[in-house]
Structure 1
Amino acid sequence: MRYAKSADGARIAYSAGGAGEPLLLLAGQGNTHHWWDGVLDDFRAAHRTITLDYRGTGDSDRPDEPYSTEGFAEDAIAVLDDLGVERAHVYGTSMGGRVAQWLAARRPDRVRALVLGCTSPGGPNAVDRGDDVRRSLARPAPEGRRRALLELMYTPGWLATHPGPYRTLGDPTMTPKERLRHLVASERHDAWDALPGIQAPTLVVHGDDDLLNPTANAALLAERVPGARLCLIPGARHAYFEESRSVAGPLVLDFLREHERA
């Protein structure tokens, strides 16, 4: 891991590998760069691929203050600056897709092509998860909460043949306060008014059986971002990028290839 220094002095841990046009991968809420471990090699075969630990996770600093998706986007810019990367493709999933929205909307000079995966515009215009999903994630027993999250991430068939380790269930080193800060940052995200200003070519990807972040949000994003392309992956849940790797990986790579620097 290497370290970039954000505008407020926080150290942001990151890793870069592979060759080709830069690609920044942004993980989900409360997760580190390990979110991408199961598919990272697919991207590093074609791109100089950059992953990071959000502040409050992994090897990054954990300042005792509120977090926001806008702030996470500024931390990502600090990583690109530390690497000397002027412009990168950006692929964000779940909360990482929310962070990616701010990157593309506020720093269009830094984003070549944008992929928004299993994410939402946030705010009152978004489609919220159902009360049954919220109740399942609030079960009193930790094992019950873990099982509920696993079943929202993956299909039963995949879970039956993949006993783990699972990389998408959150950073186990986080304190309850740090997990809450990530949750609040994601819940308070609202980029609705900024989305029409996104200039980067955009692909929106979502599993059509995603209840954690309802699939209807994909259509909202695709309608709101000018010229965005929408692709739903049949039968896939929230972690479509891992379970449906053979479909999602080539889909994203083909899109990025269309928008390589001439």
Structure 2
Amino acid sequence: MPFARAQDGTALYYDTVGAGPPLLLLSGQSNDHHWWDPVRADFAAAFRTVVMDWRGTGLSERPDTDTYSTPGFARDALAVLADAGIESAHVYGTSMGGRVAQWLAADHPGRVRRLVLGCTSPGSPHGIERGPEVRRALVQPDPAAARQALIELMYTPGYAARHGGPFTTLGEPLPGSGTPPMPGYARRRHLRASALHDAWDALPRIAAPTLVLHGTEDTFNPTANAPLLAGRIPGAQLRLVPGARHAYFEEFADVATPLALAFLQGRPLPDPQAPAAG
């Protein structure tokens, strides 16, 4: 079981699957590498995919220290790449993983070949924050109601009903994975790290070819952040996935994965087609 060591000594779990050019897949806030399970095989058919558990999640160590930040997570990702013997990689980050990927590309340009930023934001104060109704829904005192609200932010009702779970994007250990639940202090530190993200001034330094992907119906991380990012990063391309919510990469994989693969392989991008209603 491979573990890298961060600069502060924290053990970071990671895993590689596939062969070809390396592709680092970065998951969302308070989630481990299983975030990518529904689509990873499609990328592993063309790339050596690398996934990792953020500090505080999954099988990585969970220090209760002031070491959680998006630039810090980027340094953790570099430690994983170094341990895997990878000098540079394509990077696909979604949600908080996209925030981390911004720092990787801006501060370590030689380590990032091509960059995909999914359902993410430049951060405060320039980004578009989720509305108060979304924040209220996620902090309901009833855990079941809060969980259901999160599912509805991630997926369309039709997909959620057909899928039925378990879902890999809710920050919960998958049944049979042997992963212990994330401690409350680590959740709070992840939330703070994501909330304090502000890469606005760094975005123009990104030199890697960049694709910004976002669902048109994303209210968890509002869709309006996508053109902000694309307009701030030199030469970035923007594609919106019609009808998709926050977990566009899973529910609308038939649209999103071909877009990401074409871009990462340097091919012309297909035009997103409106999928069947969820």
TM-score by length of 2: 0.92
Does 1:255 find its partner at 2:255? no
For residue 6 of structure 1, what is the amino acid of its counterpart? A
Q: CA offsets per residue over residues 59-85 of structure 1, 9 Å max, x none?
A: 111112121011100000001100110
Match of 1:181 in 2: 189
Task: State the identity as a percent.
Answer: 64
Contact 1:58 1:171 in 2 (8 A): no
Q: Distance in 2 between matches of 1:84 and 1:169?
A: 31
Contact 1:12 1:53 in 2 (8 A): yes
Q: Distance in 2 between matches of 1:139 and 1:59?
A: 28
Match of 2:204 in 1: 196
Match of 1:114 in 2: 115
Compute the RMSD of aligned alpha carbons: 0.8
Q: Distance in 2 between matches of 1:157 and 1:17?
A: 31
> Which one of 229, 238, 244 corresponds to residue 252 of structure 2?
244
Q: CA offsets per residue over residues 33-78 of structure 1, 9 Å max, x none?
A: 0000111100000000000000001111111212101110000000
Q: CA offsets per residue over residues 80-121 of structure 1, 9 Å max, x none?
A: 100110110000000000000000000000000000000000
Contact 1:57 1:171 in 2 (8 A): no
Q: Spell out the pairing of 1:147-186 with structure 2 (5 A cutoff).
A: 147-172=148-173, 173-186=181-194
Does 1:23 find its partner at 2:23? yes
Match of 2:64 in 1: 64
Following superposition, the deviation at residue 252 of structure 1 comes to 0.2
Q: CA offsets per residue over residues 140-191 of structure 1, 9 Å max, x none?
A: 1000000000000000111121101100001441111110000000000000
For residue 204 of structure 1, what is the amino acid of its counterpart? V
Q: Distance in 1 between matches of 2:160 and 2:56?
A: 29
Q: Distance in 1 between matches of 2:195 and 2:94?
A: 15
SS of corresponding position for 2:38: coil
Q: Distance in 2 between matches of 1:238 and 1:122?
A: 16
Q: Distance in 1 between matches of 2:53 and 2:203?
A: 25
Q: Would you say how many aligned residue pairs link Structure 1 and Structure 2?
A: 259
Q: Distance in 1 between matches of 2:233 and 2:208?
A: 9
Q: CA offsets per residue over residues 180-211 of structure 1, 9 Å max, x none?
A: 00000000000000000000000000000000
Match of 1:211 in 2: 219
Match of 1:127 in 2: 128
Moved over 2 A (4+): none
Q: Spell out the pairing of 1:69-84 with structure 2 (5 A cutoff).
A: 69-84=70-85
Q: Distance in 2 between matches of 1:224 and 1:62?
A: 34
Match of 2:178 in 1: none
Contact 2:64 2:185 in 1 (8 A): no
